[in-house]
Amino acid sequence: MVKRRNSNTLNRSQALLESRRCLGCHNPPCVDACPARVPIPDFIKRISEDNLHGASDLIYAACPLGHICGTACPTADLCEGSCVLLPLGETAVRIGALQAYATGMAEQPRRVEVTQGAPRVAVIGGGPAGLGAAVQLERLRMDVHLFERMKELGGQAGRVIPEHHLSQPVVDHDISRILAGNIQFHPDSDVDESLAAKVVSEYQAVILAIGQQANPDPGIPGGESQGVFHALDYLSRARSAQTREGTIPLLGTTVVVIGGGNVALDAAAVAKRNGAERVIVLYRRGLEEMPAWEYEYIEACALGVEFRWYSVVEMIMSENGVVTGVRIAHMRYSAEMRGGRRWVEPDPKKQPTHLDCDAVVLALGQSSEMNLLKELGIAEKKGLVAVEEGRFQTSNPKVFAAGEIRSGGSSIVGSMSSGMKAASEAHAWLVEQGIARG
Amino acid sequence: MVNLGVDFCGIRFKNPFILAASPSTDNREMTARGLERGWAGAVLKTTSLESEEVSITYPIMSGIHPGQGLVGLHNTDLLSERHIHEVAKDIAWLKSRFPEKRIIASLMGSTREEWHELVGISEQAGADMIEASISCPQGAELEGELTLGWMVSQDQHLTEKVTSWVVEGKRRAPVYVKLSPSVTDIVSIGKAVEQGGGDGICAIDCLEGIGGIDLGTLSPLPSVQGKGTRGGFSGRAIKPIGLRIVADLAGGVKIPISGVGGIYDWRDALEYLLLGATTVQVCTAVLQRGFGVIDPLLDGLSRWLEDHNYDSPAEVVGLALAQLTEHGELTHGVKVISSIDLDLCIGCGLCYVACADGGHMAIEFPADRRPLVQEGLCVGCGLCAQVCPVPDCIKII
């Protein structure tokens, strides 16, 4: 799932003052912390000199989703978290807000003409990874075709992240810049199992950036009851209702959210903001092991969302097929480590307890649609596309994987830069094969 | 992208930005890095004949930095401890690596013969231009006499005489003369350069100053074993002086000018061009921020020119001079007043204090911390706008 953080907007006065706080470090740690390696001190210097177009050009060159990332990047965990002002006891330079400010003032990019007879490259998926790949291929003067199963580009950035974190105008700002270029956008084009082989045969290279949107069945008994929702479905419905100024569906009076990631906390926050009296997050480990960004947790607490730690739902209870509560097993840390984190086991001293509720939101992670990979004969590994460490080429040499289907959950900026790197690797391969000019 | 190429004294530069003579250009590897980074040329640190004894005492730097940043840098540096024959090797080395960049030899001699020799060696090594340094605040030597505490360029007749010596020595490379701002009539000095046959002028060199006093030891700064001396003050704070000198020269002499003094960003550089400079030189900003300051300089200047439909920096040289006039010529009797944007105001009250004690007691500061300009009392002096910490918050309209 895409991670992000909230950020507010700066006016010109604030941006000028904030820009003067940047020391312009050598080998800046903020740039090292940025997956897109945005030249942060350089663009901030340009803001301080009233050269906003110079600033936004630098940002967009490194980060085609510059306005989205400036607004929604988890900056405290990336660039701002590495600011050298922090050890001085000062607050970090508000890099995200400055980036959002400069990119908000950007002029439309100049069109790069496609070279005659350039190789045709398909990008499947119009989320951050697919967009990053498409822009990079366009810059490398490829004939780029971007397939998106929905009408709109943006993927989870545009469909799932709550409006209060990332508003539609911010998403549209970057998408419209991208669409102003030479990328051939094919909306409503679901490249499913039946079409995939055709696309791979018709294009000279394919970037696979379909992300993770499948909801794996967590296998909790009672999961089929009425009143059980998948977090991504709920967030996506809420987002589209907000965008159209419609009403966000009320989940229930007491909502239980199962999971401890950003999706879980987003769903909890959206439910609490939209009518639920009580929202209780159940997470199998303790706060210190919760994967959600810290600001998501702070925000949820401020909204009055409750947390129950070391809690695993054993069963969803129902009457006449409608949810009435959950049975919770209480856990403790075991000696075992899984995926670098402490695993848990049932606490033998504690009996399972019951919690009444009228809605349950499942936020236990996403997975990729594997049928497509099977159809294309692409090797997979642990539910993701198998690639060599640091590489993007799949077992089908024409096909390159980018974003969450390659590496699992990521931030918008991480997925986008993964797409850009996959595109560069695909281009290098086309050159190597004598298909593209170097 | 606008072609930023310019001509200065008949020599073509790829852009108007030149590294000034300084510690940055006292080493060929450093200079090479600067040229690689995008500077159009470099004035190598001022050098002299081997007979000249140069002994720098360290430290050489002190500064003033109220709040964030370095507003001015004070130094007691001297000319290079590396003499002409060594620097000549650097000139040849740099020219062979950067044939399209301009290498300028900055020279300091004390007799006619010395100047001839210095110029001859520099030209032979391949220097594109000669900078005659007669403005170093640390003083100079003229025909065996020490001129401690004053400079050749503070005297009209000496300036003309020395300029003519330098010019006599040249075969090919244009000669420009670097001038000090510490004079009563800069135009007479500029004309002396013209009379002496100089091809151009570079202004301004550092201002003479004293860096400060260490209040523990009472030593002037920078302190060398408990003692300090006069030195040169440079950096952001001297820009208004540099701009004034360049504008005066542009109005009084015909030869081209290279502007120096407090250039930190592209807007500073553009201001020098608009007041009559053809090229600019940068020293302190590079000492503070490195050669990389060239990137935003080139980017900002190029974008401004493009946005204003100019095809070359040469088109804007001196454009603002028409609007520089005598005080008596300004429009009198126009009423302007201070206008405070309360949406931006942070309620600090600095405008109130400044106006109450340094203006016209025209700003009220009630308990709600919302300053209120009394239009009847405000004369529009503009002090409040200068002390306000929030950009754009106070405008004089």
CATH number of the domain that B280 lies in? 3.20.20.70
Which residues in chain A have Cβ-Cβ distances shorter than 8 Å to B68?
20-21
Query: What is the identity of the amino acid at A170?
Result: V
Q: Are residues B235 and B337 in the same domain?
A: no
Q: Are residues B340 and B237 in the same domain?
A: no
Q: Which of A362, A378, A393 is the last residue in one of the domains?
A: A362
Winning range, highest mean pLDDT, from A240-249, B198-207, B340-349? B198-207
Q: Are residues B368 and B263 in the same domain?
A: no
Query: What is the identity of the amino acid at B92?
Result: A
Q: Are residues A234 and A349 in the same domain?
A: yes
Cα B248 to Cα B187: distance, rounded to the nearest angstrom: 6
Which residues in chain A have Cβ-Cβ distances shorter than 8 Å to B295?
42
Report the candidate in A72, A47, A50, A49 with the shortest Cα–Cα distance to residue A59: A47
Q: Are residues A67 and A131 in the same domain?
A: no
Q: Tell me the Cα Rg of chain B.
A: 23
Q: Are residues A353 and A391 in the same domain?
A: no
**What pLDDT, in 10s, does the model give residues B88-130?**
999 999 999 999 999 999 999 989 999 999 999 999 999 999 9
Q: Are residues B204 and B284 in the same domain?
A: yes
Identity of the residue in A11, A12, A49 whose CB atom sits nearest the CB atom of B265: A49
Q: Are residues B278 and B387 in the same domain?
A: no
Q: Are residues A418 and A341 in the same domain?
A: no
Report whether pLDDT(A40) > 70: yes
| Contact assessment for residue B212 and residue B166, using Cβ atoms and an 8 Å cutoff | no
The answer to whether B351 is a known catalytic residue is no
Residue A190 lies in a domain: yes
Q: Which domain holds residue A424?
A: 120-213+367-432
Provide the pLDDT for residue A39. 98
Task: Report the gap between the CA of A107 and the closest CA in chain B (Å).
Answer: 12
**What pLDDT, in 10s, does the model give residues B234-254?**
999 999 999 999 999 999 999
Chain A segment 25-84 residues within 8 A of B by beta carbon are: 26, 42, 45-46, 48-51, 53-54
| Contact assessment for residue B269 and residue B17, using Cβ atoms and an 8 Å cutoff | yes
Q: Are residues A91 and A141 in the same domain?
A: no
Q: Kindly determine whether residue B391 and residue A16, on different chains, have CB atoms separated by under 8 Å.
A: yes
Provide the pLDDT for residue B148. 56
Q: Are residues B180 and B303 in the same domain?
A: yes
Residue A125 lies in a domain: yes
Q: Which domain holds residue B342?
A: 327-396
Q: Which of A327, A362, A397 is the last residue in one of the domains?
A: A362
| Contact assessment for residue A216 and residue A367, using Cβ atoms and an 8 Å cutoff | yes
Chain B segment 49-108 residues within 8 A of A by beta carbon are: 68-69
Residue among B2, B263, B291, B295 with most chain A CBs within 10 A, to mutate = B295
Residue B1 lies in a domain: no
Task: Report the gap between the CA of A110 and the closest CA in chain B (Å).
Answer: 12
Residue A7 lies in a domain: no
Q: Kindly determine whether residue A45 and residue B300, on different chains, have CB atoms separated by under 8 Å.
A: no
**What pLDDT, in 10s, does the model give residues B18-72?**
999 999 999 999 999 999 999 999 999 999 999 988 888 888 888 887 655 788 9
Task: Report the gap between the CA of A361 and the closest CA in chain B (Å).
Answer: 42
**What pLDDT, in 10s, does the model give residues B65-94?**
765 578 899 999 999 999 999 999 999 999
The reported pTM is 0.84
Torsional sign, CA B72, B78, B79, B81? negative
Q: How confident is the model at residue A219 (pLDDT cuts 50, 70, 90)?
A: confident
Does A11 contact B at CB distance below 8 Å?
yes
Q: How confident is the model at residue A377 (pLDDT cuts 50, 70, 90)?
A: confident
Q: Are residues B377 and B304 in the same domain?
A: no
**What pLDDT, in 10s, does the model give residues A42-83?**
999 999 999 999 999 999 999 999 999 999 998 988 999 999
Identity of the residue in A16, A46, A50 whose CB atom sits nearest the CB atom of B299: A46
Provide the pLDDT for residue A339. 72
Q: How confident is the model at residue A1 (pLDDT cuts 50, 70, 90)?
A: very low
Task: Report the gap between the CA of A54 and the closest CA in chain B (Å).
Answer: 7
Q: What ipTM was predicted for this assembly?
A: 0.78
Q: Which of A313, A339, A362 is the last residue in one of the domains?
A: A362
Q: Which residues have C-beta within 8 Å of that of residue B289, sequence separation ≥ 6? A: A24
Residue A313 lies in a domain: yes
**Helix, coil or strand: residue B372:** strand
Residue A160 lies in a domain: yes
**Residue B21 gets which letter from DSSP?**
S
User: Structural domain tally of chain B?
Assistant: 2
Report whether pLDDT(A181) > 70: yes
Provide the pLDDT for residue B146. 58
Q: Residue A94 sits in a domain of what CATH number? A: 1.10.1060.10
